[in-house]
Every structure is written in structure tokens, then in C-alpha cells.
């Protein structure tokens, strides 16, 4: 098991919670204006409508990311660690069947990444293509050459 710091990582539950919390500033403004600001009813109704609309829109990506089988993935030099519900395994990069760029899901800024693994139903969907500043490379460019090629074991 690699004990080094991961080069890249993805936490699906954190992304799910971020989508859910998008509406909290609007609910906060609504409560503030209702109790402190003493705003008029049309203004309060508008704030509440926006807060509810943002909450409803964010429920779909929240549910999508919160129910993914792979909740966490940590990419190391020669393997990655998958964690989730009833899942905790280390996978060498030779077991990755395919990696591809996908359209930005759910309001994401750039392209996402889809990673499919051999011998399992795990498909990893990462909504962005994170960059490692110290390596000066993004996850897709770093991982693409490693797909399907046997990796040397990590030296201790």
C-alpha cells in the first residue's frame, strides 16, 4: 500500500456537498432579511424562490456524486487506491481499460475524465481535469501513458 502523498486525488462526496451547499448563501440572506433587515414580502419571496431554485437544481448533481460507488480515488506513481461503499482496493494502472475526456458535467468549468477499469464495474467520473503544480501536468496527460502498461513496483 503506498504511503506517499498522492499525486492526484478525487473526493466525490466533497463535490456532492459543495453542490448542496450552493444554496446556503441565499437561505442565509433570506433569514437575515426576514429577521434583521425587515425587507418587504416581494423581496423576501424573490430571495426564497432563488434559494429554492438553486437547491432544486443542485440536488441532481448532489445525488449523482453522493451515490457513486467510487467515492475517493488517490493516484500514486504506480497505482491508484479506490475507496467507496464496500470498496477499498489498490489498482495498478495496467488494470485501467480506458481513460477519456468527457464534456463538463453539472456546471463544471473544464472537461471531465472518465476512467474504466478491467474486471469490475467501477467507472470513475471526475468532473474536472486537476493539475499537479509541482509536476506541471494535468491528470489526463499524466495518466494516459500509464493506461494498460505494466508498472514497476514502488521501491521502499
Taking only the tens of pLDDT, the chain with its 156 residues reads 555 899 999 999 999 999 889 889 999 999 998 888 878 888 889 999 999 999 999 999 999 999 988 999 999 999 999 999 888 999 999 899 899 999 877 777 789 999 998 876 778 889 889 999 999 999 999 999 988 665 555 544
pLDDT at 40: 85
Indicate if 49 and 75 belong to the same structural domain.
no
pLDDT at 152: 52
List the CATH number of the domain containing 131.
Answer: 2.30.29
- Whether 118 is in a domain gets the answer yes
Q: What is the pTM of this model?
A: 0.80
DSSP class per residue in the chain: ---SPPSEEEEHHHHHHHHHHTTHHHHHHHHHIIIII---HHHHHHHHHHHHHHHHHHHHHHHHHHT-SEEEEEE-SSEEEEEETTEEEEEEGGGEEEEEEEPPPTT-SS-EEEEEETTS--EEEESS--EETTTTEEHHHHHGGGTTS--PPPP-
Indicate if 130 and 115 belong to the same structural domain.
yes
Indicate if 77 and 128 belong to the same structural domain.
yes
Amino acid at each position: 500500500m503506498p504511503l506517499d502523498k498522492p499525486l492526484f486525488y478525487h473526493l466525490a462526496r466533497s463535490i456532492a456537498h459543495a453542490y448542496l451547499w450552493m444554496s446556503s448563501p441565499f437561505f442565509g440572506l433570506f433569514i437575515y432579511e426576514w429577521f434583521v433587515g425587515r425587507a418587504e414580502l416581494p423581496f423576501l419571496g424573490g430571495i426564497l424562490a432563488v434559494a429554492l431554485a438553486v437547491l432544486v437544481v443542485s440536488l441532481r448533481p448532489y445525488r449523482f456524486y453522493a451515490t457513486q460507488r467510487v467515492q475517493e480515488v488517490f493516484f500514486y506513481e504506480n497505482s491508484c487506491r479506490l475507496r467507496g461503499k464496500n470498496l477499498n482496493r489498490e489498482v495498478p494502472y495496467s488494470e485501467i481499460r480506458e481513460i477519456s475526456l468527457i464534456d463538463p458535467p453539472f456546471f463544471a468549468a473544464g472537461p471531465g475524465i472518465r476512467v474504466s477499469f478491467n474486471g469490475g464495474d467501477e467507472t470513475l467520473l471526475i468532473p474536472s481535469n486537476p493539475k499537479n503544480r509541482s509536476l506541471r501536468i494535468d491528470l489526463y496527460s499524466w495518466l494516459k501513458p500509464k493506461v494498460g502498461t505494466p508498472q514497476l513496483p514502488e521501491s521502499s
